[in-house]
Amino acid sequence: MVFDRVKKAYRSCLLQIILVGLVAFCEPGIWTALNNLGAGGNASASHFRPFLNNAANALTYGLMSVGCFLAGGVTNKITAKWTLFVGAAFYTPYAAGLYCNNRFGNEWFLLLAAGLCGVGASLLWASEAAIAVGYPEEEKRGRYVGIWMGIRQLGPLVGGSISLALNINTAHVGKVTYTTYLGLVAISCLGAPFALLLSQPQDVIRSNGTKIPYMKNTTLGIEFRGIWRQLRNKYMLLLIPVFLAGQFGVTYQGNYLTSYFTVRSRALASFLTAVVGATANISTGIILDLKYVSREARSKAVYVFVLVFVTAAWIWNAVTQVKLSRMAETPAFDLGDGPFFNSAFTVYIFFKFFYEVLQTYVYWLMAEIRGAQGDGDIARTTGILRSWESIGSTIAYAVGATHWPNLNQMILGFALWGFTIPFTILAVFGHWNESETHEVQGQSDSSSLEAQRVVINSEGKD
């Protein structure tokens, strides 16, 4: 009896989401923690040059632009568990590459590690999102997506805590102490073991009694046809701009932090953004699952909230950046430097909070795509959209790797955010999804949740 309860808990959807969150904490979470230090913590004391790290990140995302597109098919072929494991294993060298660059000035290993990270992240991004979005039952999806993304924030939280403790007396711009990286490298090594603890999809049972849709058998031809079908899904196409441009501000924010703040200010920012980020993820997930409001009303209300406050964050950032760009000398803000420091620092935290609200929302919205609920379609859809997300990040980091002024980067990021708005409004308010529902139900009735529920119930009667 006790064993059965333990087994049921171990096979539960919630535990799978927690494990995926822990993998995300160890890999993309630690990656984010390093970048929250400002260009991987490697800004030069004499020249504000976050360019090498941005070049490495551009390489990573460039590989992901292609890799994520194919990773959905890999997920269907070898299952999400093993795709996640391989992805986590290839993620780990990145933190070590930053350590070697920080301590020894080694550049080639950082670029090699960035390439490996690009391969690993392609697999990890597609598989983790497929689990976080595809495993939960509909009425719990918002909370589970919020839990996944909230646990991921432990990466920046732990990284920020370590960095703040080690660099609290470093009151100048420049690179963080190399010992900062050692703890982060160790945490990054835990991602692959956590992935091994996942159950196979056929063994996971949701609390409502349904099983997880997954591909028992697939071929290259099936996957390419499935990807092609998803590429013709109008509802998904409307979400491409927000995935493409939604992350563009992250690179600008990293350069902003590196250029204008001391090491300990950046360490504090890394810590605080993790706290507000986790708060944003979990609270947004809870709101998206409110039962007394229809899903359509929730979707529209949260998007309006996101639209207003992300736009406000960009406007505030624009005003601050213009003032900074007009200064005769580039400032190096430290803790307690007065009202302008408070404003310039707060806008960074404000932006990060609403960026995480946006992230949680778009992943929840991705799960609402009609025509993405058939066999293997969740993995393909997450792979396609995360591929576009990677393309946007590649462009952003390529721009960040140049000597283009921060003001110009801010203008471009703000313009791209504006570009996403009409397309996302159509996706949220235009009901483009209705025709897709009928089309896919006709193609794959056997994959519907109701069909699964009937099969499981009949098995129980036998």
Q: Which residues are bridge partners to 333 per DSSP?
A: 261
Confidence of residue 371 (pLDDT cuts 50, 70, 90): low
DSSP annotation of 140 reads G
Lowest mean pLDDT among 247-251, 273-277, 334-338: 247-251
Token look-up 């059965």 returns 4
Q: Which two tokens stand for residue 1?
A: 């009896």
Q: Find the angle CA(404)-CA(405)-CA(406) to the nearest 5 degrees.
A: 120
Residue 31: what pLDDT? Answer: 86
Q: 343 or 167, which is more confident?
A: 343
Q: DSSP characters for 142-166?
A: HHHHHHHHHHHTHHHHHHHHHHHHH
Residue 294: what pLDDT? Answer: 86
Separation of alpha carbons 38 and 250, rounded Å: 11
Separation of alpha carbons 163 and 156, rounded Å: 10
Residue 96 has pLDDT above 80, yes or no: yes
Residue 38: what pLDDT? Answer: 45
Percent of the chain with pLDDT over 70: 83
In sequence order, what are the residues at sequence separation of 6 or more whose Cβ sits closer than 8 angstroms to the Cβ of residue 442? none
C-alpha distances (whole Å) from 208 to each of 137, 147, 289 are: 8, 19, 16
Contact assessment for residue 76 and residue 134, using Cβ atoms and an 8 Å cutoff: no
Q: Long-range contacts for 450-456 (Cβ within 8 Å, ≥24 apart)?
A: 452/210, 452/211, 452/213, 453/208, 453/209, 453/210, 456/209, 456/210, 456/211
Residue 138 has pLDDT above 90, yes or no: no
pTM for this predicted structure: 0.81
Residue 5: what pLDDT? Answer: 82
CB-count burial class (<10 Å; 0-12, 13-18, 19+) for 117 = buried
Kindly report, residue by residue over 1-59, the tens digit of the pLDDT: 777 788 888 989 999 999 999 999 999 988 877 765 544 444 443 333 456 777 888 88
Residue 255 has pLDDT above 90, yes or no: no
In sequence order, what are the residues at sequence separation of 6 or more whose Cβ sits closer than 8 angstroms to the Cβ of residue 61? 118, 390, 391, 393, 394, 397
Residue 449 has pLDDT above 50, yes or no: no
Contact assessment for residue 50 and residue 42, using Cβ atoms and an 8 Å cutoff: yes
Nearest to residue 313, comparing CAs of 289, 288, 280? 280
Token look-up 């929250």 returns 36
Residue 457 has pLDDT above 70, yes or no: no
Residue 418 has pLDDT above 80, yes or no: yes
Residue 316 has pLDDT above 70, yes or no: yes
Nearest to residue 67, comparing CAs of 376, 416, 382, 395? 382
Q: DSSP characters for 39-86?
A: GGGB--SSS---HHHHHHHHHHHHHHHHHHHHHHHHHHHHHHHHHHHH
Lowest mean pLDDT among 188-192, 293-297, 304-308: 293-297
Domains and CATH numbers, the chain: 11-461 (1.20.1250.20)
